[in-house]
Amino acid sequence: MAEQLILALDQGTTSTRAILFDTTGGALADATRPLRQSYPADGWVEHDAEEIFAACVAVLREAMENSGRDVADLAAIGVTNQRETVVIWDRATGRPIHPAIVWQDRRTADTCERLRDAGHGPSVASITGLLLDPYFSGSKIAWILDHVAGARARAEAGELLCGTMDSWVIWRLTGGAVHATDATNASRTLLFDIEAQAWSQPMLDLLDVPAGLLPRVLDCADDYGVMSSDVLGIEVPIRGVAGDQQAALMGQGCIRPGQMKATYGTGCFMLINTGEARPVSRSRLLTTVAARVNGKTTYALEGSIFVAGAAIQWLGEGLGITGGPRAAEALARAAKPDHGVVVVPAFTGLGAPWWDAGARGAIFGLTRDAGLPEIAAATYDACALQSRDLIEAMRADAPGAFGEEAQLRIDGGMSKSAWFSQRLSDLTGMPVQRASYLETTALGAALFAGLGAGVFASIEEAAAARPSAEALTPSMSLHHREAAYSRWLDAVPRVRT
């Protein structure tokens, strides 16, 4: 019998990628297409949903062609996606009625502020685990309905459908046969009751979103129909779906309470699995669905850093350090020990646990003998110190999740640097596991699909296919670690509004 293969479709913010995996988690082939970003107004970010679907078809075909493997060997397809980006389309024609509004878009900030001022914040957090913020999908859906002529009436008449990118792609791949999402994506919409595991009528009423627009909510490993033979020549089951950060949590094997991962890309997303008990955050973290498998829901606390890898880009674009990240890292490693410089890279505000959109970046502690090496080192350290902010908030919200074996599993572009990874361990005081294979998001989608297709007998067996990792432990003295964090905590309030 031929080896069973799993094809993962990773529809991200800046690109769409397909990766073919074997059942050990080994990547056999891949293909990628960049995604155009559109900025029609200040703070607005849009994508062309048709372009996204065309790219999905192209990369699925190209990955299989690059592999030289037979499509008949595919056990299933898994889908992962940029979570809060949303699109509304015509049920009959399949055409979007407006460009997809991207998770970064801030056009509904006034709406969210008005609802917060009216006192709805606590009830929203209680139902959804989220904050009233334009980051999430619900207010975006209402905006499209209110700004496209006739859209609200058509929605009420059942002529329109909506969904995040997973729903859109699945609906198109199945020829309009399946309108579904998974519990992790649903939990990022501001419309989902994460305890009842169902769309929330109070939230639908608050944000003025008709229930008939919304997809069915399935498990992460479930039956999402079959991909049309138009794509690869034969029908292929779609058996796994998860939002990108939850897919990465799975790809890192974080299936038990206390296991946590951080993905260091442009920003950073850190999640800790809290098990079947839904945590209530008092530290302004988000409570989200980590996974739902066989009807059993597990939860996670999530914190986001708006600027991580983007701060390293700033060293080149803003300060003129040429040669890319390697040159910036070499400069940082040459900095004087205990230089005392602190960079707060609040270029687009501060994320969790501060949630201050008005904060702006600053450099503190400059002396006559400080220069670019010290500023570069402080910029890298800022990524690690913001990570400690999140860890401390998670420790406060879920103290039982931090046992003696607590560790931080990392992936993403910045984790390619062994020096930064060690610095992260030093400044957080946490053991760090640096993944050898960085595409953990796509891997997680593949593992969920394999579980849904019966390739894996259990979630434990699927998670065992996570990549090998390099173990790093803190080498910095407690005195130096706490002094660095104290300087950071002194600097942050100075940039806040």
For the stretch 320-344, pLDDT in tens is 888 888 888 898 899 898 899 999 9
Which ranges in the chain are annotated with CATH 3.30.420.40?
5-244, 253-497
What CA–CA distance (Å, rounded) separates 53 from 333? 43
What is d(CA 7, CA 20) in angstroms, rounded to the nearest whole number? 4
Reply yes or no on whether the pLDDT at 182 is more than 90: yes
Of the candidates 211, 204, 184, 153, the one whose C-alpha atom is nearest the C-alpha of residue 441 is 184
CATH class of residue range 253-497: alpha beta
Confidence band for 469, pLDDT divided at 50, 70 and 90: confident
Please give the average per-residue pLDDT across 388-416, as a whole number: 87
383 SS3 class: helix
Specify the pairing of strand 432-435 against strand 408-411: parallel
Question: Do residues 309 and 414 lie in contact, with contact meaning Cβ atoms separated by under 8 Å?
Answer: yes
The answer to whether 375 and 343 are in contact (CB under 8 A) is yes
Question: How is domain 5-244 classified at the CATH fold level?
Answer: Nucleotidyltransferase; domain 5 (3.30.420)
Using alpha carbons, list the distances in angstroms from residue 90 to 159, 224, 301: 6, 20, 35
Rounded CA separation 370/385 (Å): 20
Whole-prediction pTM value? 0.90
**pLDDT above 90: residue 167:** yes
Pairing between strand 432-435 and 469-472?
Answer: antiparallel
Q: Which amino acid belongs to residue 207? A: L
Cα dihedral across residues 351, 409, 341, 329: positive or negative: negative
What pLDDT score does 177 carry?
A: 96
Distance CA 359, CA 348 (A): 7
Cα 455 from chain centre: 26
User: For residues 435-462, b (16+ Cβ closer than 10 Å) or e, as one string?
Assistant: bebbbbbbbbbbbbbbbbbebbeebeeb
C-alpha 469/C-alpha 191 separation (Å) is: 37
Residue 23: count other Cβ atoms within 10 Å of its Cβ: 18
- For position 380, what pLDDT does the model report? 93
* H/E run at residue 157: none
The total number of residues shown for the chain amounts to 497
